[in-house]
A and B are shown apart, each in its own frame.
Chain A
Amino acid sequence: MSSRNIILQRLRNRTGGELTAPECDFSVLKRPDWSTAERIELFEKMIESVHGEVHHCTSDSWIERLAEVLNTRGARNLMVPNEHAIGQAIKASERTDLPELLLYDEPIESWQLHLFNEVDASITSTRGGIAETGSLILWPTPDEPRLMSLVPPVHIAVLNASEIYTTFHEAMLAQNWAAGMPTNALLISGPSKTADIEQTLAYGVHGPKELIILVIE
């Protein structure tokens, strides 16, 4: 018999009594109906507590803010999505104070070394935020691949204030995640960190050292 069938059979023929599934009441996860302003405030407080940096912008001002953020860090380049409105807008802005723009338009195998060593910053969209934990929701796509939010030392994420949910539970139900999940989905809450050496926090251990959120209100 295959290991699969051995295991399943052992589980099916269990010697104990009949097991019944208890009712699960998720109402303990529910939070009061907060206003957008309250959600933004909590989101900001929570993500800043884990070293995220929040900038409040408008749909007119965010590119200018982006340029400032990059310039203060001396970024030599910025990786942008090619098709997403964010990338389109950055390219169309033709600002001279933006660093060189890079695209992630080839399979990683052909330029891995370059991505790991030469890219200073990336900017991606988000599918919303979560106020209670200060988290960003990302569903990477061919236009914004998985490593874009992981390998460059600075990750900049654009978040629409109207898409900040109160809890993870609320967000996954509102976006009907159960209907089908993408190859990879992520909650990102702050830059990469570790406390493995004597509980001392250090940032940027394997992923980005900085996470910057442009909240568009």
Chain B
Amino acid sequence: MSDITAQSHHHIDVREFHPRAHAAIHNPKIRQNFRKAMDGLMAKRKAAFEGWDLETLRDLGANIRLKALSNLPDLLEQLEQKLTENGIKVHWAVDGDEACRIVRDICMARDAKTVIKGKSMVSEEMELNHYLQDQGIEALESDLGEYIVQLADETPSHIIMPAIHKNTGEISELMHEKTGTDLSNDVEYLTASARQQLREKFMNADVGVSGVNFAVAETGTLCLVENEGNGRMTTTVPPCHIAVTGIEKVVPSLEDVSALLALLTRSATGQHITTYFNMISSPRKGEELDGPEEVHVVLVDNGRSSIYQDDELLDTLRCIRCGACMNHCPVYTRVGGHTYGTTYPGPIGKILMPHLIGLDEGRHLPTASSLCGACGEVCPVKIPIPDLLVRLRQESVDGDRLHPAKVRGHGAKRSTGEALIWKGWAWMHASPGIYRLGTGVAAKFRALQPSKAGAWTDYRTAPKLAAKTLHQRMKERGQ
């Protein structure tokens, strides 16, 4: 039986963040698995950037992403034109459902029954696997971590390392139960078994589905970053390759890719580069002896064009999905990826998911942060994540009268009582006489102060009012 923090896809209520967090915090196995992994990743990232002028490199990363976004519609058209010239078919999807239907239609046109998948977070967003399964098409993950997560009927708990919540023993048991491998803590053996099982699948798959890390407009090139070789298999062995990608992944030139790649792999896993950097620009041509005869790209919007409307929220779209923000997040490290109940967990999830599922559904996400700022400090493209969290918190209570809230489902957390209290607070602070009177009275009657203050005091002691106000003390000192 799986525990509450590792639920399967079905019926996850994003709003149940608190009970999941509570369970995760009291689950020593989850705590250990994440702590160990995140400590390692942080140290590796630090070492990988040694000798670099990291601030300048991050500035470059941020500028490249901003340059791309500032010209997004034109770049997408250029990309479409180049890809088409190269023989790659381009599709556009307003949301995940439409993207799923496009993939299904391509499969049906080829009478495809089995799909092998490389790692793709956008396909997780689309819940493509379940959709295809419902349509009678088998979809099998080939990235080892994703494969494990799929065997367990779970979702990834980390965007780079999907099975990070499990330790070797748990994986061994899972593989034993589902695929008949021997029980063993030998990672080499487990890996070799998965290699054997999946090689068969690669050979028999009718379609390969992958994600995209960067799509280059100038040459019409799809870039994929990976270590295992499953991405290369997925995009080379089956006769048809479908790449799904968010519309924000486009960059103007290959030169831009060289800088983003330098940031991506070092930020993600502390690798100077991944084993494979796979650049695909066309289906199999005339004389060539392998590679798919058909290549498709599905450009998925799914909320991104809404984020694009607002100057501040736009920064969210700079993300290159490195996962560094979660690796460095004290909240993520303690509660683990599944607690969030969303496709993207951790800081990036907290600023991205409210746009995809609505701020009503995702109301707890922006508050699941201590605003310590670590995420913003490590983000390779300098997304001001803490500022965006504050912005979303405001939007969730409609708290900024000067700037009307824009995110779907805004105001879901607004309570009239709380709004009234803050109104009174503002009024009191705007008039010195009343402020003095108010704090003076509060100090006098401090004995009546309740020791419990809702959820705040579940894990904290309530602050005690001082016997004298600061103003009174200053007066006594004759100042």
Band of interface residues on B: 35 or more
Given A10-B308, A16-B314, A20-B70, A104–B203 Cβ distance below 8 Å? no
Pair A16/B255 contact, Cβ less than 8 Å: no
Chain A interface mostly helix, strand, loop or mixed?
loop
Q: Judging by beta carbons under 8 Å apart, are A190 and B275 in contact?
A: yes
7 smallest CB-CB distances across A and B, nearest first, come from A207-B229, A196-B145, A19-B70, A206-B229, A187-B277, A192-B229, A4-B92
- Known contacts A28-B53, A150-B233; 4 additional CB pairs below 8 A are A22-B70, A196-B148, A197-B190, A204-B191
Contact assessment for A197 and B191 in the assembled complex, using a CB-CB cutoff below 8 Å: yes
CA distance A28 to B262 in the complex (A): 11
Interface status of B281 (Cβ within 8 A of chain A): yes
Indicate if A188 sits at the interface (CB-CB under 8 A): yes
B residues touching A (Cβ–Cβ < 8 Å)?
33, 36-37, 40, 52-53, 56-57, 60, 63-64, 66-67, 69-73, 76-77, 92-94, 98, 142-145, 148, 161-164, 166-168, 171, 187-188, 190-192, 194-195, 198-199, 202-203, 218-221, 227-230, 232-233, 236-237, 247, 253-256, 258-259, 261-262, 269, 271-285, 287-291, 299, 301, 305-306, 308-311, 314
Contact B93 A202, beta carbon cutoff 8 Å: no
Give the residue name and chain of the A residue nearest to B277 (CB). Answer: A187
B77 and A8 form a contact (CB under 8 A): yes
| B218, chain A: closest CB distance, angstroms | 6
Which listed residue (A12, A142, A202) contacts B191, Cβ 8 A?
A202
Residues of the B chain whose Cβ atoms lie less than 8 Å from the Cβ of A11: 72-73, 76, 247, 305, 308
B53 contact set on A, CB distance < 8 A: 28
Please give, as numbers and ranges, the residues of chain B lying within 8 Å of A191 by CB-CB distance: 275
B258 to chain A: which residues have CB within 8 Å?
Answer: 26, 29, 167-169, 172
Q: Is the CB of A3 within 8 A of B98?
A: yes
What chain A residues lie within 8 Å of B37 (beta carbons)? 198-199
Partner of B66, one of A22, A193, A197: A22
Could you tell me if A146 and B305 are in contact, using CB atoms closer than 8 angstroms? no
Question: How many interface residues does A have (CB within 8 Å)?
Answer: 77
Shortest Cβ distance from A148 into B: residue: B290
Residues of B near A19 (CB, < 8 A) are 66, 69-71, 314
Q: Which of A56-64, A72-80, A94-102, A105-113 interfaces with chain B? A: A105-113
Q: Does A125 touch B at the CB level, under 8 Å?
A: no
Q: Which of A134, A186, A189, A204 contacts B195 (CB 8 A)?
A: A204
Contact check, B278 vs A7: say whether CB atoms are below 8 A apart.
no
Alpha-carbon distance A11/B246, docked complex (angstroms)? 14
Give 5 CB contacts A-B under 8 Å: A29-B60, A147-B290, A167-B258, A178-B219, A208-B229
Please determine whether B219 and A26 come into contact, CB atoms closer than 8 angstroms: no
> Closest CB-CB distance, B241 to chain A, in whole Å?
11
List chain A positions with a Cβ less than 8 A from chain B: 2-4, 6-8, 10-12, 14-17, 19-26, 28-29, 46, 50, 104-108, 112-113, 116, 132-135, 141-142, 145-147, 150, 167-169, 172-173, 177-178, 180-200, 202, 204-208
Task: Establish whether residues A189 and B64, one from each chain, have CB atoms under 8 Å apart when the complex forms.
Answer: no
Chain B residues near A147 (CB-CB < 8 A): 236-237, 290
Contacts of B191 in A (CB 8 A): 194, 197, 202, 204-205
The answer to whether B309 touches A14, judged by C-beta atoms less than 8 angstroms apart, is: yes
Contact between B310 and A50 (Cβ–Cβ < 8 Å)? no
Give Cα A146 to B287, complex, Å: 13
Whether the pair B71, A21 counts as a contact (CB closer than 8 A) is yes
Q: B residues within 8 A CB of A205?
A: 144, 191, 194-195, 227-230
Shortest distance from the beta carbon of A83 to any chain B beta carbon, whole Å: 11
Is there contact, CB below 8 Å, between B254 and A207? no
Contacts of A22 in B (CB 8 A): 63, 66-67, 70
Q: How far is the CA of A26 from the CA of B253 in the complex (A)?
A: 13
Does the CB pair B277–A186 fall under 8 Å? yes
Q: How far is the CB of A157 from chain B (nearest CB, A)?
A: 13
A146 and B236 contact, CB distance less than 8 A = yes
- Cα-based distance from A178 to B262 in the complex (angstroms): 19
A106 to B271, CA, bound (A): 37
Q: Which of A26, A132, A146 has the most CB of B within 10 A?
A: A146
**Min CB gap B50→A, angstroms:** 13
In the bound assembly, the distance between CA atoms of A192 and B274 in angstroms comes to 9
Docked-complex contact A183 and B285, CB < 8 angstroms: yes
Task: Name B229's contact: one of A46, A141, A150, A167 (CB within 8 Å).
Answer: A150
| Cross-chain contact A189 with B314 (CB below 8 angstroms) | no
